[in-house]
Amino acid sequence: MVITMLTKFKLSSAALIVAAAFATTGCEKQTETPVAVQAPAYTAADVDKFISETGEELSRLINESSKIDWVYSNFITDDTAALSAASAQKYSEAGVRFAMQAAQFDKVEVSAEQRRKLNILKQALVLPAPQDSAKSAELATIAADLGGMYGKGTYTNAKGEKLNLGDMSAIMASSRNYSELLDVWQGWRTVSPAMKPLYQREVELANEGAQGLGYADLGAMWRSNYDMSSDEFAVELDRLWGQVKPLYDALHCHVRAELSEEYGEDKVPQDQAIPAHLLGNMWAQSWGNVYDLVAPENADPGYDVTEQLAKHEYTEIDMVKGAEKFFTSLGFEELPSTFWERSLFTKPADRDVECHASAWDIDSQDDIRIKMCIQKNGEDFSTIHHELGHNFYQRAYKDQPVYFQNSANDGFHEAIGDTIALSVTPGYLKEIGLIDTVPDESKDIGLLMKMALEKIAFIPFGLMVDQWRWQVFSGKISPENYNQAWWELREKYQGVRAPIARAATDFDPGAKYHVPGNVPYSRYFLAHILQFEFHKSLCEIAGNEESIHRCSIYNNKAAGAKLNQVLEMGSSQPWQNAHKVITGSEQMDASAILAYFAPLQKWLDEKNQSRQCGF
């Protein structure tokens, strides 16, 4: 997870519920709008003045807000919560003001760089409200209520135990009891039916706001943030999914067959979609928790990173120092001393903190930090490499204007972090002295299976969440069909079905945070595509001669220089330009995923020869 600057307009709850009234960015066909009062005649000089003054104010707000957020995350009290809420409101209100002011210059002839800065300010809002104060207030209330309903959601089971989402997720991850899994799956979805009428009204209001900005609907507005038309973007996502689908289908077939062995073919029929509660995750979006049920035979690689960390007496700081060395081996400068002085590496014994791993850019310059309650295990060792990927990205674009201190598009930051984590291979572990020998390639299938259950299993889910929302926003999916359409899309893309009959009054989309929270989801789909592209290209630059999944770019200055070239660009240019620097092409290509998982694909195809596949 990355905490960066301009993304706060998109991520903070306050920013999602405020209104702005401004014209189209030019990506969409204009809709009819009422005749407006004659606007002042602005000039390029006015734009220069606005951009300069706003940049200074934005930098000041960033520094102030980031420090308050950091204190709140590390010292959770009623007082720090109040300070954080007040700061978020101030920051969000500034975002609305900046957007509305930027819109005044829509028809002024400006340079490409100036227009990009103005558009970044305008497109920062995720949930625009209508040009009506009563409706704006109504939208704000609805958004806050939906967030509260999700956050406070609990389920009391037949034993009288009151379970929160964390409790139920733990059961989903570990239990192999069919009935227990079904109970908590159903239980969590009791929190969302009451959201449905609120969500329906929210869609109506947000669509009205988007249409006032010149977009056909809110979905078209969201899709316009990718340096291409909204229709082109939707087609591009479908094309990428089409490339990955054969691998996903093979994984699905194998997992379904093994789950049928575990639970019985009466519960997991071989000619139907997989019941959603059996995949180890509350939303069946990643399947890593069922690895023990589907793992290849003799898949043990012969080492355990957690045991090796203990054997070599690694401390939490040693783990971070080791990840830093990965980046310095590529040619990046060491982290600043303030990183080590100000980051949180372990959970304090005397206070509550937010332990979810995150990378922070406090002042848009050198005050970068991570916040983790590090556990001395293999998973966190890899996560640290990911988080430092964010930090080095943040540091690389620090010399860009504040407007461009972000990733090339909202999928790039996560993709860069994951690209680095892909280099934490057995070969890398041997090179840094954590293991003595690299297992032969026969052991790779287990490692690839573990990764596929997390990354390949997620890809169709990452696509369908916004596919559902875009159709809701456009009116193609009507409120009475919200739930039915949700499960139709889940079966179409994931081959996953509701384990019990669902009613039109249910609202299962609301049981996924990003729907009531109004967080666009396509960024996660993009990150899963881009990370493998970047890894493959950097490995080629590094002169790798091994299989792609065995490649680590550790200690390769040529790969590091190419990576840094992209990181330094920030969001100053269309993402296609940044993409081309690494890959040589402006178009995304999911074939790198197929190359990475080629040994697993071959193994799956052999295992599935006698099985009935498809859903």
Residue type for position 194? A
Write down the mean pLDDT value for the chain: 90
Sequence letter at residue 589: D
What pTM was computed for the model? 0.88
Q: Provide the pLDDT confidence category of residue 97 given band limits of 50, 70 and 90.
A: confident
Q: Tell me if 203 sits within 8 A of 218, measured CB to CB.
A: yes
The per-residue pLDDT for 99 is 81
Please, are residues 248 and 453 in contact by the beta-carbon 8 Å criterion? Answer: no
Q: Tokens standing for 207?
A: 């669509």
Average pLDDT estimate for 309-319: 96
pLDDT at 267: 97
215 sits in the region (left: phi over 0; alpha: psi -120 to 50; else beta) called beta
Looking at 5-19, 215-229, 499-513, which range is the least confident one?
5-19
The residue to which tokens 């980051």 are assigned: 343
Residue 18 has pLDDT above 70, yes or no: no
The SS3 of residue 370 is strand
Strand residue runs (E) in 269-401: 274-275, 358-361, 368-371
Residues in the chain: 615
Q: What would the two tokens of residue 8 be? A: 């706060």
- Specify the pLDDT at position 3: 60
Average pLDDT over residues 571-598: 96
pLDDT tens, 167-192? Answer: 999 999 999 999 999 999 999 999 99
At residue 360, what are phi and psi to the nearest 5 degrees? -120, 140
The tokens for 201 are: 């009204």
Model pLDDT, residue 137: 84
Tens-digit pLDDT profile for residues 107-161: 899 999 999 999 898 877 788 888 788 888 888 889 888 988 998 899 999 999 9
Nearest of 383, 166, 198, 200 to residue 282 by alpha carbon: 166
Let me know if 564 is exposed, middle or buried by CB neighbors in 10 A (0-12, 13-18, 19+). Answer: middle
pLDDT digits (tens, 9 = 90+) for 243-257: 999 999 999 999 999
Cα–Cα nearest to 66, from 368, 410, 292: 368
Distance CA(451)–CA(441), nearest Å, equals 16
Mean pLDDT of 46-66: 93
CA-wise closest residue to 11 among 466, 410, 455: 410
The Cα 321–Cα 373 span in angstroms is 16
What percent of the chain clears pLDDT 90, i.e. is strictly above it?
73
pLDDT tens digits, 274-304: 999 999 999 999 999 999 999 998 888 888 8
Phi, psi of 511 (to 5 degrees): -80, 0
Instruction: Supply the angle between the helices 444-474 and 230-263 in degrees, to the nearest 10.
Output: 130
| Percent of the chain topping pLDDT 70 | 93
Q: Which two tokens stand for residue 63?
A: 């520094």
pLDDT at residue 13, as a whole number: 35
Q: Which residue has the higher pLDDT, 202 or 133?
A: 202
Region 205-227 average pLDDT:
88
| Residue 141 confidence (pLDDT) | 87
Residues 516-554: tens digit of each pLDDT: 989 899 999 999 999 999 999 999 999 999 999 999 999
The residues near 539 (Cβ < 8 Å, ≥ 6 apart) are 548, 551, 553, 559
Taking a C-beta distance cutoff of 8 angstroms, is the pair 458, 285 a contact? yes
Mean pLDDT of 387-404: 95
Q: By C-alpha distance, which of 316, 367, 318, 306 is closest to 345? A: 316
98 phi, psi to nearest 5 deg: -60, -45
Burial class (CB in 10 A: 0-12, 13-18, 19+), 78: exposed
What value does the mean pLDDT take over residues 46-69?
93
Compute the distance between CA of residue 179 and CA of residue 176 in angstroms, rounded to an integer. 9
Catalytically active residues are 356-357, 386-387, 390, 414, 514, 524
Q: What is the 3-state secondary structure (H, E, C) of 550-610?
A: HCCCCCCHHHHHHHHHHHHHCCCCCHHHHHHHHHCCCCCCCHHHHHHCHHHHHHHHHHCCC
pLDDT at 30 (0 to 100): 34
* Distance, CA of 604 to chain centre: 28
Tokens of 464: 């369908």
Q: Is the pLDDT of residue 361 over 70?
A: yes
What is the arithmetic mean of pLDDT over 49-54? 96
Q: Looking at the predicted structure, is the pLDDT value of residue 403 above 80?
A: yes
Categorize the per-residue pLDDT at 36 as very low, low, confident or very high, splitting at 50, 70 and 90. very low
Report residue 180 as tokens: 């227990």
- Is the pLDDT at 33 greater than 80? The verdict is no
Instruction: Return left, alpha or beta for 614; rule: phi > 0 is left, psi -120 to 50 is alpha, else beta.
Output: left
Distances (CA, A) of 88 to 65, 93, 190: 7, 8, 30
In a 13 Å sphere around the CA of 277, the CA atoms on its Cβ side amount to: 22
pLDDT of residue 270: 93
| Least confident stretch, 31-40, 189-198, 327-336, 404-413 | 31-40
pLDDT of residue 4: 53
166 Cβ partners below 8 Å, 6+ apart?
A: none
Residue 512, φ and ψ in degrees, nearest 5 = -105, 120
